[in-house]
Each structure stands twice: as structure tokens, then as C-alpha cells.
Chains A and B, each alone.
Chain A
Amino acid sequence: MITKDQIVRWLEKTAAVLQENKSYLTDLDSAIGDADHGTNMDRGFRKVMEKLPTVSDKDIGNILKTVGMTLISSVGGASGPLYGTFFMRSGMAMASKEELSDEDLFKLLQAGVEGVLQRGRPNLEDKTMYDAWAPTLEAMQNALTAGMGTVELMETAVAACEQGMKNTIPLQARKGRASYLGERSIGHQDPGATSSYLMLNALLETVKE
């Protein structure tokens, strides 16, 4: 069971970890993009932290939708609408919920990833955040079928996500600004897959507490 307080803590942890990794994400982005991913994500989640107190008494769906709207209006670039849509859709899937089952947690992430798919239309191995999310969802589905508990479920998810993130290194980008580099994009880890991993790992740390 995941409580509303845990969801709020997850968002706080995400904001903190994105701030800590601001330069790291920007460095990854300067290799194959336009060197603003860390700055943009940090700016977005700082805004989320300002907004969070105004909705923390609302249900989980409402909180996540507010996160989505805030990211859409403050991040810019491609990651703004992608992460914004992720949280909008996950919020819609969790409408009026005050606590989540493990199954709900899976559905939350699944709805978010479906939003990313509709907005960005990535294919597997395009070297995007989807390369981190697709194996995550698959691993979670299997873990749920196997009847794992919340912590074990999230550990499995994060391990798959990390592997997916690392698997972007040898890929040639076919989406976004990195795609114009052609073969020169090979050998670099995708910044969006990396921020997705950081976000998911923050969720694991929250449920472990």
C-alpha cells in the first residue's frame, strides 16, 4: 500500500535528486542535445515544490495532475510536454484515490508512459526515455504476477529501468535534436532516460523508508 504522504515524499525526493544531478543531466545533454535538460528539469520541479503545499490535501490524482500542469508550463523544450503529459495522464488514471495498491502503482506509471507515447511517438531503441520505461513496465507486470511485495516490486522496476537507461548508450538517436548527430550520438547515455531513472529510483527510496 502506498499512501498519499508517500506520493508527496516521492515528488519531494524527485525534486531533490534532480537538483543534485542538474549538472550531470546538463552534461549528458550537451554531448548530444542542447545542454539544458538539467536546468529545465530543476526549474520545473522547483515550481512543483512551490505548488505542492496548495494541493497536498487533495487526492492523489489531483496532486499528480497539478504536477503535470506545472511541468508543462515551466520546463519548456521537449521534456516539458513529455513529463507534463506523463503526470497529467497518471493523475487522470489515479483520479480520486487517497491511497494506492501495488497494482495501482503499476497503472499510474503505465498511464504516464502511454501519455509519453502519444505525445512523442517514440519507437523502442530511438534512444529516448521510452527505452527506460518499456522494460520497467514489463518487469513490473511480471513482478505483480509473481506476487512480489511493494519494495521488491519497485526494486525489480528500478533494476530494469537502469538497464534500459544504460542500453541507450550504444544506440543511434532517431528522435529529438540528438537525431541530427547521426552516428555521432552513439556512445552517449540519453539524458531523458537518465532523468526517468532518477525519478523512478526516488520512488523506490520512498517505499523503502
Chain B
Amino acid sequence: MKKLINDVENVVREQLEGMALAHPELKVNYDPYFVVRADAPVEGKVALVSGGGSGHEPMHGGFVGMGMLDGACPGEVFTSPTPDQMYECAKAVDSGAGVLFLVKNYTGDVLNFETAAELAYAEGIKVQSILIDDDAAVKDSLYTAGRRGVGTTVIVEKIVGAAAEAGYDLDQCADLARKVNMYGRSIGIALTSCIVPAAGKPTFDLGDGEFEFGIGIHGEPGRKRLPMTSVDEITAMMATAVLDDEAYSRTVREWDNEEGSWVEKELTDEPFKSGDSVIAFVNSMGGTPVSELYAVYRKLAAECEARGVTIARNLIGPYITSLEMQGCSLTLVKTDDEILKFWDAAVNTPGLRWGV
């Protein structure tokens, strides 16, 4: 293993220390770990908090700032953060307008955020929790933990972050987050594995002549392992998995501030159809260069056009990574006027910046 690290034990802390030095507009707390806007809490504004294992940078810490997240909780590499981090982070960013947790659907993240929501509520903080579950590689919600939260997370954080800046209240932010998540679908592929520093060896073995289709962001198994082929063929498969995916139903739990308890909601994502306008997000898993992402985008644009789907906006680059893994993911999010307005709004974070 060759990595730019000192002691494996201190990887996350030292990376956070570097981030704090590079970005004085952010404040990093070390006990427990969380990153917040230096100007938090922002008076009268709903605060957005996300979090997850480290190793996906710039997500989530790199998306803290004006127009996106108020706080982010980094766990150890690929390990969920703990409720005390989320709870302390929520306290640090809450202006009284409430805190929205954006939670990627992984069992660890979900259970830790649910515990944190209960703690925050007990402390008198208004809290809402929206699950991001957009990975079309997972077909079935009945016999699995459901679709994983992947690329749509970045889009939700951007759009709802802008809405919170514009004065949306907590329920409106939660409704918008739920909508954007339901409009989004993703699929990922890996050409290589990645090496978790503490493990010191590749998470899985992938031969020179193969790629893994339908991978998660931690090297979870995909749908299938296939012989390596051209970018056009791979992109066509990915586009099909997203654009031709059928309706997806599942039950999610959301927090009810009135009752002080969890309520279950049955949600169904509708398939894409001709005439839809989308945000297209082509993402690198860390090891794939931007040049190759453009080759993916070239074919993706053709696949969208063939189905009568218009790409209204795009985002291309490494935004939700899996350490140094070679591979990419593709996310399409259906848009409407509300979503496009907030997508175009100003954002100023280390990882995403425009309009400022």
C-alpha cells in the first residue's frame, strides 16, 4: 500500500486539520469530529447537517458553506459517524429554525442518525430527517436494506441548501429534499478496488480484464462482474440502468416533531419518461480522470437524447468518491422550475462554488 499518510490511526484527524488550515471560513471541531460554517448558526435559517464515513471527499465536509450544508460529521474511513457527533453538530448550527438531517441509506448511518434525531429532539431542537436512497443497482427493497444513498446526495445538498438560504422553513426543506431524492437515480461502476488505510489491502479483487457493474461507494458488491469493454458500451449499460429503471417503492421512516416519534411513509419513485428535463451528474470514484468522465458524458448525452430526455444542467468531476478507486457513477435527477432555480443559486463551499 502506498498512500500519503502518517499513522493509519490519525488519518481522519490530520486530514481535518489540513482542511481547517486551508478553509478559515469553516470551523472544525475535534471532540467529537464535525465541520461547520464559521458563521453558524445563521440567524433564522434552517440548518442542513449531513455526515457519513470519510473517504468520499469532497463529500460531505467539502460541501459545508453558504448555499449548501451548515454542518458535516465525518466518521472513520467508510465507517458511519456516531450520534454524539451529529447531536453536537446539530446544536452548533441550530438557529432555532430547526435542523434537517440528510442521511444516506446505509444501515449504520441510518441507525446513528435516528439515535441523534431522538437526542436532538429531547434537547428541544426541531429536527427532520430525510433519507437519500437512489442507487438503481439495488432492485429490491423487501429483501435488502433498500437502495443505497449515492450521487443524488450531492444534488440534494446543493438544492435544499439554496432553498434554506432563500428562507424555506424546516418542513419545506424536508419536502424538497424528499422530492429531489425521489427524482434522482444513480448507478456506479468500478474498474479497480480501493484500499482502506486501516485494512492495508484492496477491499475486493477485480481482475485486469473485468469491471464491476452496480457498485456502491464503499466497494459493496455490484449487480455483476463483466469483461472490460469500451466506454460507450459501459455508459450505455449505465444509462439503461438509470433511464429505463422501473418504479421503485419502499417504506422510509421520518421524524414527527409534533408526536416526538418516527412515522413510516410509503414512497414510490416514478420512472423517467420522454419530455423529462434532468440534471446529469457524471462523477469520478477518485481514480478516474476528468477526461474519461467527458467520454462518459458524450455517450450519456446521446442516450438521453435517444429517449427524449433533455439535459438541463450538468455536473462533471470527482464529488462523491471512494478513495482512489477507478470508476465512475452516473446520476440523473428530474428537474422542475423550483429545482432548477435552486440549482442555479449561488453556492460557496470548498467543493462546489458558483455565482459568487
Contact = CB atoms under 8 A, between A and B. Distances in A.
A85 B114 CA distance: 11
Interface residues of B, number: 29
B82 A72 contact: yes
B220 interface: yes
A172 B81 CA distance: 27
B348 interface: no
Interface string A59-89: 0000000000000111111101110110000
B271 interface: no
Interface in B87-118: 106-108, 111-112, 114-115
A81 B115 contact: yes
A75 B107 contact: no
A181 B221 contact: yes
A179 B143 contact: yes
Contacts of B111: 78, 80-82, 119-120
Contact of A73 (B82, B114, B144): B82
B218 interface: yes
B32 to A, nearest CB: 7
A85 B115 contact: yes
Contact of A34 (B32, B78, B84, B144): B78
Contact of B143 (A36, A76, A78, A174): A174
Contacts of A120: 107, 111
B79 interface: yes
Counting chain B CB atoms within 10 Å of each CB, the highest count among A73, A81, A82, A84 belongs to: A81
A191 B112 CA distance: 19
Counting chain A CB atoms within 10 Å of each CB, the highest count among B75, B83, B108 belongs to: B108
Nearest to B198: A39
B221 A180 contact: yes
Contact of A78 (B83, B107, B144): B107
A162 B32 CA distance: 37
A175 interface: yes
A86 to B, nearest CB: 12
B115 A179 contact: no
A135 to B, nearest CB: 23
B97 to A, nearest CB: 27
B193 interface: no
A176 interface: yes
A12 to B, nearest CB: 23
B75 A76 contact: yes
B115 A84 contact: yes
A116 B17 CA distance: 36
Given A72-B83, A80-B82, A177 B145 contact: yes
B228 to A, nearest CB: 22
A180 B84 contact: no
B317 interface: no
Nearest to B253: A121
Contact of B106 (A72, A74, A177, A181): A177
Interface in B61-84: 75-76, 78-84
B138 interface: yes
Contacts of A85: 115
Contacts of A177: 106-107, 145, 220
A40 interface: yes
B199 interface: yes
B114 A81 contact: yes
Contacts of B83: 72-73, 81
Contacts of B78: 34
A32 B76 CA distance: 20
A81 B220 contact: no
A76 B112 contact: yes
A75 B65 CA distance: 29
Nearest to A74: B82
A73 B221 CA distance: 29
Contacts of B142: 174
A51 interface: no
Interface in B133-162: 138, 142-145, 148
A119 B107 contact: no
A180 B141 CA distance: 10
Nearest to A80: B82
B31 to A, nearest CB: 11
Given A73-B82, A80-B80, A119-B115, 9 more contacts: A36-B79, A76-B80, A76-B112, A77-B79, A78-B108, A80-B82, A84-B115, A179-B144, A180-B220
21 contacts: A72-B82, A72-B115, A73-B82, A73-B83, A74-B82, A76-B79, A77-B79, A78-B107, A80-B80, A80-B112, A81-B112, A81-B114, A84-B115, A85-B115, A119-B115, A120-B107, A177-B220, A179-B144, A180-B148, A180-B220, A181-B221
The 8 closest A-B pairs by CB, nearest first: A179-B144, A81-B111, A73-B84, A77-B108, A78-B107, A78-B108, A176-B107, A76-B79
Interface of B: 32, 75-76, 78-84, 106-108, 111-112, 114-115, 138, 142-145, 148, 198-199, 216, 218, 220-221
